[in-house]
Amino acid sequence: MMRAVCLAGAMVFALPLLLATAASAEVVKLQAELRGSNEVPPNASSGSGKAEAAFDTNTKVLTYTVTYADLTGPALGAHFHGPSEAGKNAGIALPFKSTQSPIQGTATLTDTQAADLLAGKWYANIHTAANPGGELRGQMAK
């Protein structure tokens, strides 16, 4: 009986802490319009696309979908780049497992990656043979 009372008392004190932790977790939605004019340097691609993502601040899991159409040729590479502001180039931050539209995936980010993503310093990039530096690009933003 005494154990049950102690356990119940512990649960009463733990519940507010658990609720506060759950309440502080957030799913942040991000998106980007992919265009050739966003590339550095810009290109005249008639292709277009969109990147949509959800980032869970508690688990640090990023879930994303990237779609595109009308490229100059097959996509040869596709990834998130960062950290970089719009108008500047950066290295690959997160490679995609596929280049076929729609590209879908999940990844658990490091604290640094998460901070850069949420600060708007990641961009989605689709590469082709005609535009090896990137045919379509879009800066991820909330």
Sketch the domain layout of the chain as residue ranges: 26-139
pLDDT digits (tens, 9 = 90+) for 32-56: 999 999 999 999 999 999 999 999 9
Look at residue 52 in the predicted model and tell me its pLDDT. 98
Long-range interactions of 119-122: CB distance < 8 A, separation 24+: 119/83, 120/85, 121/82, 121/83, 121/84, 121/85, 121/90, 122/80, 122/81, 122/82, 122/83, 122/84, 122/93, 122/94
Average pLDDT over residues 60-79: 98
- Output the pTM of the full model: 0.83
Residue 11, pLDDT score? 46
What is the tens place of the pLDDT at every residue in 94-118? Answer: 999 999 999 999 999 999 999 999 9
**pLDDT over 80 (residue 58):** yes
- pLDDT tens column, 86-95: 999 999 999 9
